[in-house]
């Protein structure tokens, strides 16, 4: 198969394996679109996106337009003479004028089993909802939010202790392989797109700080799913007093326990905490200004005595 001329559009770490795979399979990336460098770190210096950095390593032309809705942006996109556009977590809406340009269309790699979890945070939402499986889908883009017909999917079982970070990394690799197979089928006219069902549509809205705070009155299973769905970022949290007033404590990993206790109360020296139903044991935590650590490491420098109430 001869390589295709591709415009790649993506921004975060999740998109990098797909970009690398396309290059490795002999496709020509004629332009790489990504979000503009943004302030990051303690010094708030401008930092290029992960895709931008990867494109620089490959010596690709990089574009960071603030909008694609101008005549100039459309003309520039047309000038790439690409066969297809590949979009992976780009973070910007593509207007119809752009979608209509590539002869083979614009394909999006989306991290869910469409039509469930359209939108911004599909991996986190699937785990927080207690879904048994998730996956990646290659979709032909349309004007609606993740509404286009689907050409290929690959499923991933969500094991009981899988975190969003772990799922993210596995889906990024699965997605890269899926896109390579989809492009191969597309180039020979063998990629069949099927319209999404109108049933089972769920929207993965952006995460808010309010839903990151743990409500210990909820059942342990709900809290466990919340913790792993938000780990490692932005992180579920609770408030605890270590002797200098309440401070935020991120909970990054938990284990379901069968014991019962008063909601939000530390039940033993192993940091088992009571919930509305049953309990959870804290496995990995992070104090403000500190690095993530195991519960045993945490207890060497901090105290949460049995009977302490957190929340």
Query: Model confidence over 148-190: pLDDT tens digits?
Result: 999 999 999 999 999 999 999 999 999 999 999 999 999 999 9
pTM: 0.95
**Ramachandran region, residue 259 (left: φ > 0; alpha: ψ -120 to 50; beta: rest):** beta
Domain termination residue (choose one: 203, 225, 249): 203
What pLDDT score does 39 carry?
Answer: 85
- Residue 64 shares a structural domain with residue 192: yes
Residues 182-211 pLDDT 10s: 999 999 999 999 999 999 999 999 999 999
CA separation for the pair 52, 89 (Å, rounded): 13
96-117: b or e for each residue (b if 16 or more CB lie within 10 Å)?
ebbbebbebbbbbbbbbbbbbb
pLDDT exceeds cutoff 60 at 252: yes
pLDDT band per the 50, 70, 90 thresholds, residue 79: very high
307 in any annotated domain = no
| Same-domain check for residues 187 and 216 | no
**Same-domain check for residues 223 and 186:** no
Which of 186, 203, 220 finishes a domain? 203
Domain boundary residue, one of 203, 235, 250: 203
pLDDT in tens, 203-235: 999 999 999 999 999 999 999 999 999 999 999
The structural domain count of the chain equals 2
Q: Around Cβ 60, how many Cβ atoms within 10 Å?
A: 19
Q: Is residue 306 part of a domain?
A: no
Residue 294 neighbours by CB under 8 Å, 6+ apart: 283, 284
Query: What is the band of 301 on the pLDDT scale with cuts at 50, 70, 90?
Result: confident
């Amino acid at each position: 198969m001869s390589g295709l001329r591709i415009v790649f559009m993506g921004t975060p770490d999740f998109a990098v394996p797909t970009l690398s795979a396309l290059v490795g399979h002999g496709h020509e990336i004629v332009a790489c679109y990504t979000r503009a460098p943004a302030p990051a770190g303690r010094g708030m210096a401008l930092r290029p996106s992960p895709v931008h950095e990867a494109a620089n390593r490959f010596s690709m032309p990089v574009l960071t337009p603030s909008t694609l809705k101008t005549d100039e942006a459309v003309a520039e996109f047309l000038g790439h003479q690409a066969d297809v556009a590949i979009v992976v977590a780009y973070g910007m809406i593509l207007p119809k004028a752009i979608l209509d340009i590539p002869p083979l269309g614009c394909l999006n790699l989306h991290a869910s089993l469409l039509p469930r979890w359209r939108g911004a945070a599909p991996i986190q939402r699937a785990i927080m909802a207690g879904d048994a499986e998730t996956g990646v889908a290659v979709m032909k883009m349309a004007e609606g939010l993740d509404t286009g017909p689907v050409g290929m999917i690959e499923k991933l079982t969500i094991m009981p202790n899988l975190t969003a970070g772990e799922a993210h990394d596995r889906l990024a690799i699965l997605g890269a392989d899926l896109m390579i197979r989809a492009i191969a089928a597309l180039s020979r006219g063998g990629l069949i797109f099927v319209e999404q069902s109108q049933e089972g549509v769920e929207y993965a809205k952006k995460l808010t700080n309010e839903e990151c705070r743990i409500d210990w009155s909820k059942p342990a299973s709900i809290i466990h799913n919340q913790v792993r769905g938000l780990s490692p970022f932005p992180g579920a949290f609770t408030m605890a007093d270590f002797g200098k007033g309440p401070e935020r404590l991120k909970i990054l990993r938990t284990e379901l326990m069968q014991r019962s206790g008063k909601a939000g109360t530390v039940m033993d020296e192993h940091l088992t905490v009571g919930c509305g139903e049953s309990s959870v044991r804290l496995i990995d935590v992070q104090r403000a200004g500190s690095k993530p650590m195991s519960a045993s490491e945490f207890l060497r420098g901090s105290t949460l005595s049995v009977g302490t109430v957190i929340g």
